[in-house]
Amino acid sequence: MESRDTPASSADAERRFERLVENIPGMSAYLDIVQPDDPGHSIPVYISPQIEELLGYPRDAWLNDDELWLDQDARAMAIDAGEAASENASGSVRFCFYTQVMIVMDTDPVRASYVASEILKALNDAGFTGRIETVNALDAYLGSLPGHGYPNLRRPLISTRNIADLLPVTSVWPGLANNPCSFFPPKSPPLMWPATDGATPFRFNLHDSDVGHTLVLHDDKKGKPGKALACGTIAASNP
């Protein structure tokens, strides 16, 4: 005896299924149809309403919003790559592999390791990252040679805009290294070395050639007499 499902029985089974899965707390049921010609792609046909409470997206969005199923991170990377290709094609920027290596050479391995660690500390203080190579040391050295950038595995792809940031055309002026006054002994040190907000101290001199006239303007009780006394005391200490 052959049984055939009628539309009424199919609809009744569908209602019973929905009543069952839609009343299970903390769980959402999801049904989709896999495309025969593309097994990696499917079409969602049903999802129980608990999905909104569990994941925060409306039920209709799961069924009808194609954007919801996209890998947003991969999509953002694809957009970024497309914009980069467009900028490169227009000639506004260029892209290249960048390898930066600092080579320390010394006959004493202990001293070389110490110098390398001090260089790494200086880089970290300036806001850069780095590492002392071990198994990649030989390839890093070969990658530092002109025209041999390929051996070094650490060669990120950067643009000419990144290069402009890494190689600034201006720098902080730290002041004159020696006192410019001709009445002081030759190569006299600056009057003082005040600390600054950055990592570069400032070499403070009052003189411009042999003229040391100075005007200090500030609010009341902000230390003007103290500054004047410090400058006079340090100047008097010079022979």
Instruction: Count structural domains, the chain.
Output: 3
The identity of residue 171, as a single letter, is S
Do 106 and 147 sit in the same domain of this protein?
yes
pLDDT at residue 235, rounded to an integer: 62
* Residue % of the chain over a pLDDT of 70: 75
Do 238 and 190 sit in the same domain of this protein?
yes
Do 214 and 185 sit in the same domain of this protein?
yes
Residue 149: inside a domain:
yes
The two structure tokens encoding residue 31 = 């049904």
Indicate whether 80 pLDDT > 50: yes
Q: Which element (helix H / strand E) includes 30?
A: strand 30-35
pLDDT at residue 111, rounded to an integer: 93
Indicate whether 220 pLDDT > 80: no
For the stretch 105-123, pLDDT in tens is: 999 999 999 999 999 999 8
pLDDT at residue 118, rounded to an integer: 93
Do 143 and 177 sit in the same domain of this protein?
no
Residue 5: inside a domain:
no
pLDDT at residue 43, rounded to an integer: 72
Indicate whether 45 pLDDT > 80: no
pLDDT-based confidence at residue 1 (cuts at 50, 70, 90): very low
Please name the residue ranges forming H helices in the chain. 7-21, 50-55, 59-64, 72-90, 109-125, 137-143, 160-166, 224-237
pLDDT at residue 229, rounded to an integer: 66
Distances (CA, A) of 127 to 40, 114, 131: 45, 20, 14
Residue 121: inside a domain:
yes
What is the chain's mean pLDDT, rounded? 78
Higher pLDDT, 156 or 235: 156
Distance between CA atoms of 169 and 176, rounded to whole angstroms?
A: 20
Residue 34: inside a domain:
yes
* Low-confidence winner among 24-28, 62-66, 141-145 (lowest mean pLDDT): 62-66
Residue 202: inside a domain:
yes
Do 181 and 140 sit in the same domain of this protein?
no
User: What is the average pLDDT across 129-140?
Assistant: 89
User: What is the average pLDDT across 119-134?
Assistant: 88
pLDDT at residue 222, rounded to an integer: 66
What residues make up the domain containing 44? 15-69
Do 206 and 149 sit in the same domain of this protein?
no
Residue 225: inside a domain:
yes
Do 239 and 179 sit in the same domain of this protein?
yes
Higher pLDDT, 138 or 69: 138
User: What is the average pLDDT across 31-58?
Assistant: 72
For the stretch 188-211, pLDDT in tens is: 888 778 777 777 788 887 777 777
Q: State the chain's maximal CA–CA distance in angstroms.
A: 122
Residue 1: inside a domain:
no
Residue 223 and residue 194 in contact, taking contact as beta carbons nearer than 8 Å: no
Do 141 and 182 sit in the same domain of this protein?
no
User: What is the average pLDDT across 95-110?
Assistant: 88
Do 105 and 143 sit in the same domain of this protein?
yes
For the stretch 10-21, pLDDT in tens is: 677 777 777 777
Distance between CA atoms of 172 and 163, rounded to whole angstroms?
A: 19
Q: Which element (helix H / strand E) includes 41?
A: strand 38-47
User: What is the average pLDDT across 31-35?
Assistant: 74
Residue 3: inside a domain:
no
